[in-house]
Chains A and B, each alone.
Chain A
Amino acid sequence: GAVVSQHPSRVICKSGTSVKIECRSLDFQATTMFWYRQFPKQSLMLMATSNEGSKATYEQGVEKDKFLINHASLTLSTLTVTSAHPEDSSFYICSALGLATEKEYFGPGTRLTVL
């Protein structure tokens, strides 16, 4: 149980395009999901907290207009990287907070490469 999926697992795009990443909790509901970014050989850095039915809460320094988050249902949150540039290339990881367990379950990550 407590499986989180991400789609796509890997994406390569041209500079200036937008990319959408989906995060799904497959067998549980999550009112809260988190989006992290991880650069090579670095730790996970929290970007934003995604709340079902309300606006996301962004961490300091994260541009909300560039990283659009939508948490449309209790099992799905999406992160859209708008007008992506090479410096946005990173490993994006989502997690979902289990309602019953209050534990954080992580997705497998999405590798974004912007050319």
Chain B
Amino acid sequence: GESVGLHLPTLSVQEGDNSIINCAYSNSASDYFIWYKQESGKGPQFIIDIRSNMDKRQGQRVTVLLNKTVKHLSLQIAATQPGDSAVYFCAESYNAGKSTFGDGTTLTVKP
């Protein structure tokens, strides 16, 4: 079946460094991608999204890059802060339908 996966299960960075979290997806028909942040014991929190007609989108301290050729999605966090420590999930959907979540990457920011 279709799946969305993450390359690395854990990522540890120093406070102030940039973080890059990667995601591979397998459904070439997916047209909408989202990054979520989930803190322990809480629901997912929307970070940023991108549609398939774009290859880059920037938010506050975050950038999402989409490479449809290799079906790859990445989340870049600039100047990572301790408050960014969480599990990050990518998700993909098609035609405003249900989302399929990836496995998640645990980001740990060392002070």
Instruction: Indicate, yes or no, whether A interacts with B.
Output: yes
Chain A interface residues toward B at CB < 8 A: 4, 6, 34, 42-46, 49, 91, 93, 95, 97, 102-109, 111
CB-CB under 8 A for A107 and B99, given A43-B89, A43-B104, A44-B89: no
Say if the beta carbon of B98 comes within 8 Å of chain A: yes
Interface size class of B (residues with CB under 8 A): 10 to 19
0/1 interface trace, chain B 85-103, chain A, CB 8 Å (1 if under): 0000100000010111111
Within the assembled complex, what's the spacing in Å between the Cα atoms of A103 and B98? 10
Partner of B102, one of A34, A43, A46: A43
Within the assembled complex, what's the spacing in Å between the Cα atoms of A49 and B42? 21
CB-CB under 8 A for A43 and B44, given A34-B98, A102-B96: no
CB-CB nearest 9 A-B residue pairs: A106-B43, A44-B101, A109-B43, A43-B101, A108-B43, A106-B44, A102-B96, A93-B43, A43-B103
Counted as pairs of residues, one from A and one from B, with CB atoms less than 8 Å apart, the total is: 44
Chain B interface residues toward A at CB < 8 A: 34, 36, 41-46, 49, 89, 96, 98-104
Query: B49: nearest residue on chain A (CB-CB)?
Result: A103
B52 CB to closest chain A CB, in angstroms? Answer: 14
Within the assembled complex, what's the spacing in Å between the Cα atoms of A6 and B36? 19
